[in-house]
Amino acid sequence: MVDPRAYEAMSQPVLGIRDDYFLGVMADIQAGLRTAFGTKNEATFPIPGGGGAGMEAAVASFVLPGQKFAIFAAGIFADRMSIAGKRQRANVARLEKTWGEVFSAEEAEAFLDRERPDVVGFVQAETSTGAYQSGRAITAAAKKFNALVIADCVTSLGAMPVELDSVGVDVAYSCSQKGLSCPAGLAPMSMSPRAFEWLQKRPEEPYTWYLDLSLISKYYEPAHAYHHTPSPPLYYAMHQSLAVIEEEGLENRWARHRRASQRLLAGLDKLGFTPLVKNPDERIWHLTTVVPPSTVNEAALRQKLLDRYGIEVASGLGQLAGKILRIGTMGPLATDENVDFLLDAIADCL
């Protein structure tokens, strides 16, 4: 759900990309994204496109052809990172786990010890399964073997702890239409000083020109070197939605998502649904994944919710297709009232 203030912001006049007002909007967005990402990284900014653009920018900029790229894979978005790595002609190694589970410190260390990768990739909040992995177990292992870490923060940013600096992530990407409650169309990125330095010394040019983070980052430096024309309405919307987050307070927003998730799961439990992710610490707060009772046809239930209440609940993807419901309660939706309305609607449609 897009924040109403973000909608309103989009009708502001389009300005030249070096206009002082627009540069001020950009600087505010960078500051707001640093807060949401939990980082002091200077190189923190949005790029055009969705989360997929962010993923490709990260992988194409930081993974060289022939390098070993180790991916922790337990969902569709880890699979996409693997595809992006292969397209860069990297040597992709995957540690696979049942969807909905996360990786332990022991598993991470054994995998990286065996593979000795140049770059490591993981998904912090796997939209296809509802599993959250802070990444601490993975970054600790990566540090031991001196590998750069790329984190997919598409679903975590703005909604639950990302904390790049404290977790130790080098390169992170996200999207605008999930935890930030903006329309789709921008991919926030962040690079640690170590990652940024590596990028300046990259031995060969990446295949991509459009998503080359070393070129894009120059727009955010004082000379504002032209690389592409940004989409002002999307920047205005993000500017407002980051202001909304700052006013509520990031940790208050997390707590609100967490409360909504707990209330939703307690209500669903009474209706016979069971959470896909067993460990409460490994659950995404604003995207709840549940297995319906065996008597329930999940597709029929979703259709009824849409027809009777206009509520869109997502189906399972990939190996979880037909097996789970994925229920988003992000941003403005994460309130007691909305959760109760949703629970009543589900009870009615069963």
Tell me how far apart the alpha carbons of residues 102 and 135 are, in angstroms, rounded to a whole number.
Answer: 10
Point out which span in 43-51, 103-111, 141-149, 249-257 binds a second copy (CB under 8 A).
43-51
Which of 25, 131, 164, 175 binds a second copy (CB under 8 A)? It is 175
Looking only at residues 307 through 326 of this chain, which bind a second copy when binding is defined by CB under 8 A? 312
**Site for a second copy (CB under 8 A): how many residues?**
46
41 burial via Cβ count (<10 Å: 0-12, 13-18, 19+): buried
Q: Which two tokens stand for residue 343?
A: 């629970």
Phi, psi of 265 (to 5 degrees): -65, -35
Contact between 121 and a second copy by CB under 8 A: the answer reads: no
Which sign does the torsion angle of CA 120, 194, 49, 335 carry? positive
- The rounded distance, in Å, linking the Cα atoms of 141 and 10 is 43
- Taking the complex as a whole, the smallest distance from the CB of residue 55 to a second copy amounts, in Å, to 7
| CA–CA separation, 179 and 254 (whole Å) | 10
Q: What's the rounded Cα separation, in Å, for the pair 92 and 54?
A: 19
- Shortest Å distance, C-beta 90 to a second copy: 11
What would the two tokens of residue 283 be? 């659950």
Contact between 213 and a second copy (CB under 8 A)?
A: no
Tell me which residue of 205, 82, 71 sits closest to 149, measured CA to CA.
Answer: 71
Tell me the two tokens of residue 204: 């060969």
294 contacts a second copy (rule: CB under 8 A)? no
Residue 10 near a second copy by CB under 8 A: yes
Q: Which stretch binds a second copy (CB under 8 A): 113-121, 164-172, 179-187, 336-344?
A: 179-187
The Cα 79–Cα 86 span in angstroms is: 11
Among residues 16 and 193, whose Cβ is nearest to a second copy? 16
**Among residues 28, 50, 107, 323, the one that binds a second copy under rule CB under 8 A:** 50
Taking the least distance from each CB to a second copy, the nearer of 51 and 292 is 51
> Candidates 141-149, 229-237, 296-304, 328-336 — which segment interacts with a second copy by CB under 8 A?
229-237
Residue span binding a second copy (CB under 8 A) among the ranges 53-61, 105-113, 281-289, 332-340: 53-61
For residue 188, the cross-strand partners are 46
Helices and strands of the chain, counted as H and E runs? 13, 13
CB of 232 to a second copy, least distance (A): 6
Stretch that binds a second copy, among 166-174, 205-213, 250-258, 334-342 (CB under 8 A): 205-213
Q: Which is nearer to a second copy, 311 or 343 (CB)?
A: 311
The four Cα atoms 343, 344, 345, 349 give a dihedral, to 10 degrees, of 100
- Return residues touching a second copy (CB under 8 A): 2, 7-8, 10-11, 13-14, 16, 48-53, 55-56, 60, 80, 83-84, 86-89, 175, 177, 183-185, 205-211, 227-234, 237, 312
